[in-house]
Amino acid sequence: MFEGFETAQIEVGEASVFVRYGGEGPPVVLLHGHPRTSATWHRVAPLLVAAGHTVVCPDLRGYGRSRGPAFTADHAGYSKRAVAADVVAVLRRLGHERFALVGHDRGGAVALRLTLDHPRAVTRVAFADALPVSEHLSRITAEFATRWWHWFFFAQPDVPERVITADPDSWYRGDPEVMGAENHAEWRRATRDPDVVRAMLEDYRAGLTVDRRHEEADRAAGTRITCPTLVLWSLQDDLEELYGDPRVIWRRWADDVRGHGIDAGHHVAELAPGELAAAIGGFLQGPAGAPVT
């Protein structure tokens, strides 16, 4: 995986972030979702390098080979604000003050927080299979609670850790033929690590508490995304089925929204890397004032 890329373990305050980076040209940061690591981008990253970009793929705080602080009752150490600050610090250490940003799933929540907290750092932002956490929570229905029950299970104290670590291979299911053997092996090592499992749960616990409060404060203050924004969603996932066109929701948060669906399941970077890379690459190359579609 990641031929020609370099790796580093970068200390940034209370966190230690594992990162892969390679290529030349304008930087773009790829943020993975749950329960993946940066390896999920192994088919997309080389395509973006070939298109003329420097590509940076970190493991989010607590995921994969990244580590965060001790766990606390308020979950603040695993808030999206803390994780976003990690990403900014890592990019500065690599020599990049400004960069484009792509977030998938939980990485999308980090991308939102980073763009709102550090607007001068982000040139463009893309969200894949992601909505603001507060938008999900304001639309809770019986159907949402049934399909996304894991959000509320993960929020419970202690029990999820015991259930998941008792048999992680049964809980986190992955196919090496679909994911790629090296990506699968890295993901499997991570999900069998109790510290990683706890950190991933803290990500969700923060989402329902401190992250929600941060988003609601931004909405109340009228804080918006002002850079060009791309919204992508997997047509074989349930985002559009639950909410309709996700671009409509993102226009509550961003001034310039465009995007489309991709015919794939949820882990789109593994399932449709060519189409995803083409969508991201076209967005990064397009003019800032391109018409919204």
Give the active site residue among 34, 118, 184, 266: 266
Give the active site residue among 59, 105, 129, 211: 105
Q: How far apart are CA 261 and CA 246, in angstroms?
A: 10
Active-site residue 238, yes or no?
Answer: no
Q: Where does the chain show beta strands of DSSP type E?
A: 6-12, 15-22, 27-31, 54-58, 99-104, 122-128, 229-234, 257-262
What are the backbone dihedrals phi and psi of residue 51, each rounded to the nearest 5 degrees, phi first?
A: -85, 0
Active-site residue 105, yes or no?
Answer: yes
In DSSP notation, 24-72 reads: SSSEEEEE--TT--GGGGTTTHHHHHHTT-EEEEEPPTTSTT-B-----
Sign of torsion over alpha carbons 91, 58, 271, 105 = negative
Q: Which residues are catalytic?
A: 105, 266
